[in-house]
Structure 1
Amino acid sequence: MRDIIVIGGSTGAIEVLAEICANFPANLAAAVFVVVHVGSSGNDLLAGIVDRRGPLRAIMAVDEAPIERGTITVAPADHHLLVMTDQIRLGRGPRENMTRPAIDPLFRSAAISHGPQVIGVLLSGMLNDGSAGLAAIKRCGGVAVVQNPSDARADEMPLSALRACDVDYRARTVEFGGLLTRLAREPAGAAVPIPPDIALEVAIALGTALDTPAIRKIADPVALTCPACGGVLSELQSKPPLRFRCQTGHGFTAEILDQQQSGPTEQAIMVALRIVQERATLTERMAQEARAGGRNHSASMLEQRLEELRKHAEQLRQVAINARY
């Protein structure tokens, strides 16, 4: 049977998750695992929110606890939630997409451990954590479900998942409870071979040290720097989505890497703009002083420089706007 349900989401996902759990039957013969990006303290409150909304018990994940059908297990703060063959593991491996817990490690771990028994669900959220993990579930024979983008408060995660793999179902908030209950009652498909690259990424989330030969098995070096540790990034061979990892193990989709790189770039542009504006202010004051003292030639040269500085400032301002939007 399809008795492993893994759910991930971010912005706008808590309300949807609460509605899903409220519509689960009390006799659901599946174990449910949840990762939602809610910040370091919010994770520890999520289990209580979910527990109050439906008939199923919701608990905070504990390392090496057994898998319990009819229970909703929520990732604790600052740990990757991993579903192994017969137990839960909490990993302190590197952050993925700048978060821990991240959705992708949960999805991948369930995929390699339970294959076609897995139902992967990606809810509302920004950027694209979860897309690679949902694709991994499909590669291992599981079922992929996303929130209908038109129903999501933040549609980037569902849209990215639709680009990353052949999603089996799109559902609106009111449809999830019934759909997942029905899927959990259906027999699982035949087992398929587990791709070794997915297994290696699960080991990284658990905290297994990564070396150059290991990363070369799944990725190719590129001329990019990891924003988390400054190491060299390698491009993952499995795509979509386009992803990168460093030798420390930090992982990024291209979109999240671009977001992380844009911060220092914008900051550098703003520093340059401030310096140019300060030079323009000083030059203007010097030109006024020269003109007042009858040094017209010097004043003209300074005014010409002032005009150039103002043009440079405007160019930098436009670059900053474009970098931001």
Structure 2
Amino acid sequence: PNGLHIERVRVPLGVVGIIYESRPNVTADAGALCLKAGNAAVLRGGSEASRSNKAIHDALVEGILASNLPEASIQLVPVTDRGAVGEMLKGLGGNLDVIVPRGGKSLVARVQEEARVPVFAHLEGVCHVYVDGEADLDMARNIVLNAKLRRTGICGAAETLLVDEACAATHLQPLVAALIAEGCEVRGDEAAQKADPKVKPASEEDWYTEYLDAIIAVRVVKGIGGAIAHIAQYGSNHTDCIVTGNQKTADRFFAEVDSAILLHNASTQFADGGEFGMGAEIGIATGKFHARGPVGVEQLTSFKYLVRGSGQVRP
């Protein structure tokens, strides 16, 4: 416009602080991802893996120096006390541009509450599978079992199954029975309890719970509207799935459910940067700005506008 050439280019975020617990693999993953995106990384791991973290960091520094990159590109905080976390949350005197927490709910909650710089994180993965009235039963069964039980301890594991009242007579009992047969504890509403005597009564707390175990909450809802309302009230904006043969219903689910990742006729366990073709990821973000969903190399960058003119002034 106006004879100007406008270009948007990607730029590094700057310095990324990673706060994590006893996961030494994060030292390698986070350090490499940040460096690949052009950022510097400040890593603060937990005391349980301090020696492993140091050994991995030493290897990273060796590679950095061999590539003629600044040794300080990836730094490991040499202490593991909580005071170090507090200083990082303050931004290290303006030297941190973003923080990524990797760990349990208490760590992530503290980071989100106290950080004075932007945070890429999700607090919980209360993920839902909604089986619509026009869902194929065999497909629904396969998706539900995989979404819940393939790996129960990951953030993309399904924690709640919602079944449309329109298909409850044909789909609810087989789905519940399949879960129980695979060793999954089912906690359900009145309809789910009637479907199988092994179903335990669900409490209000169950609808909010990220079990990270072979436990699932089951409820019958009134159509797509009921499913959307339930997810809006109890969900965590992480990952939610609809199983249906009706494309218009799936489109409405995609338009009205406010989660970082939405799936149609696919397991919630695909909620992963590697599965999306993004390569490695540093985590999942459920915030509203910048990075949302898997945070990989591209998400660890921002952008700026380059405007080239030939003397233009604005009237």
TM > 0.5: no
Q: TM-score, normalised by structure 2?
A: 0.35
Relative contact order: is structure 1 or structure 2 higher (C-alpha 8 Å, sep ≥ 6)?
2
> Higher helix share goes to which structure?
1
- Between Structure 1 and Structure 2, which shows a larger proportion of strand residues? 2
Radius of gyration: which is bigger?
Answer: 1
